[in-house]
Chains A and B, each alone.
Chain A
């Protein structure tokens, strides 16, 4: 499971739709959401979550990608099954998990210590709790 402890940097709203940006260490994240928790405002500390199945991994990226969240990460662990691999990433001390196929894991040659980019769409990121 992933746990990203981030701070709300900005909130843009239109109708019931919102785009929230967060700062997480050196990184910036953005999230698309319908109605927000009333307690959430600029400066709020939040726990963010993203399903491991929705986290892609890039290595030596070039070219342009539409992913709003392209986070510099270090591979903390690789746990390979027969078909699927769980990649545990460290992003400035936060844990983010990615579930990819073993074939993809091998194609990228992923191993602990690798510097990679975690790719998360803004629509896949969610707030699990507003802390303060």
Chain B
């Protein structure tokens, strides 16, 4: 069990904000940490890693990592940290980057094999692609067999195909090493594929803590096929009205009645929904 009960006053663009998190995490859980930027996600990861000070307590199993009296330094915490920008040592080869953490050749070889990096072990980071660099930093994070693997939007700089591949590898490492993982992510498909629990932060507080499906599935009454968008226009066609709504990067059209049209205002946020039975799914 990991017991986090911390407080810290943050000074951001929105002024002062109190980060206050009370969270119990079971060993082996995969937690996705979501929320708008500035909600305190990265600070929470850094506090767990010991890179930032905070008030409160942090217990991992029977070890106390932080309480009122003392704070365990980052290098004594069994933590793996993966950053969005890889943070590899540019003057060291792939293998040296791993061995810097722990002189464990067998483990380094195993990790490089698991992630298909064995042939690149003598290369310098500058000669690698983004996906390869992030694999290296993932392997490096596993080198001290971390109790907690912390990842701060690790895949957001990568293209969709590479993301899917690395998601699979992250899941494999998470399971094989029995790590507890906390990952900051905004990508619903990533969260659904990897996490068994989603914690949503807003202004420093937890506003949702549930399964990915409960948190991510947008519903509107009994309608399970639901999207939020902006109402751009309503045009009359014959005796029906057609509402044009922008959702994500797309425009959609919805047929509405004049009564419904009268109650809607151009420019407002609307929910487009239908029952899960109605849509037709086809591949491209």
Asked if B253 and A34 sit within 8 Å, CB to CB, the answer is yes
Q: Hey, which chain B residues are within 8 Å of A14, CB to CB? A: 237-238
Asked if B280 and A17 sit within 8 Å, CB to CB, the answer is: no
Does residue A51 face the partner (Cβ distance < 8 Å to B)? yes
A34, B242: Cβ atoms closer than 8 Å: yes
B278 engages A17 (CB within 8 Å): no
When C-beta atoms are compared, the residue in chain A nearest to B240 turns out to be A17
B182: shortest Cβ distance to chain A, in Å?
40
**B277 & A51 in contact (Cβ 8 Å cutoff):** yes
Bound CA span A8–B278, Å: 25
Are B278 and A16 closer than 8 Å at their CB atoms? no
Instruction: Kindly state whether residue A94 has any CB partner on chain B within 8 Å.
Output: no
Chain A residues in the interface with B (C-beta under 8 A)? 14-17, 34, 49, 51, 53-54, 99, 126, 128
- Answer yes or no: B126 CB below 8 A from chain A CBs: no
Cβ–Cβ < 8 Å partners of A128 in chain B: 280, 282
B235, B242, B279, B280 pick with most chain A CB within 10 angstroms:
B280
Number of interface residues of B (CB under 8 A): 14
Query: How far is B277's CA from A31's CA once the two chains are assembled, in angstroms?
Result: 20
In the docked arrangement, what's the CA distance between A17 and B242, Å?
A: 10
| Chain A residue with Cβ nearest B278 | A51
Task: Please tell me if the beta carbons of B280 and A16 are within 8 angstroms of each other in the complex.
Answer: no
Contact pick for A17, options B237, B275, B279, CB 8 Å = B237
Cα A16 to Cα B240 in complex, Å, equals: 11
- A selection of 10 A-B contacts at a CB cut-off of 8 Å is A15-B237, A16-B235, A17-B237, A34-B237, A51-B277, A51-B278, A51-B279, A51-B280, A53-B275, A128-B282
- Which residues of A have CB within 8 Å of B275? 53
Residues of chain B at the chain A interface (Cβ within 8 Å) = 235-238, 240, 242, 253, 255, 275, 277-280, 282
Interface contact B237-A53, CB-CB below 8 Å: no
Asked whether A15 lies within 8 Å of B253 as measured between CB atoms, the reply is: no
A126 touches B280 (CB 8 A): yes
- Given that A16-B242, A17-B240, A128-B282 are contacting pairs, would A53 and B277 also be in contact in the complex, using a CB cutoff of 8 Å? yes
Residue of A nearest to B279 (CB): A51
**Taking each of A49, A53, A126, A128, which has the highest tally of chain B beta carbons within 10 Å of its own beta carbon?**
A53
With the chains together, A99 CA to B235 CA distance in Å? 34
Query: Which residues on A sit within 8 Å (CB–CB) of B282?
Result: 128
State the Cβ distance, B206 to closest chain A Cβ, in Å: 38
Instruction: Please measure, in the bound complex, the distance between the C-alpha atom of A14 and the C-alpha atom of B237, giving whole angstroms.
Output: 8
B278 pairs with A54, CB closer than 8 A:
yes
Whether B238 and A49, one on each chain, are in contact in the complex, defined by CB atoms closer than 8 angstroms, is: no
Is the pair A53, B278 in contact by a Cβ cutoff of 8 Å?
A: yes
Q: A16-B235, A34-B255 are in contact. List 16 more A-B contacts (CB 8 A).
A: A14-B237, A14-B238, A15-B236, A15-B237, A16-B237, A17-B238, A17-B240, A34-B242, A34-B253, A51-B277, A51-B278, A51-B279, A53-B275, A53-B277, A99-B277, A128-B280
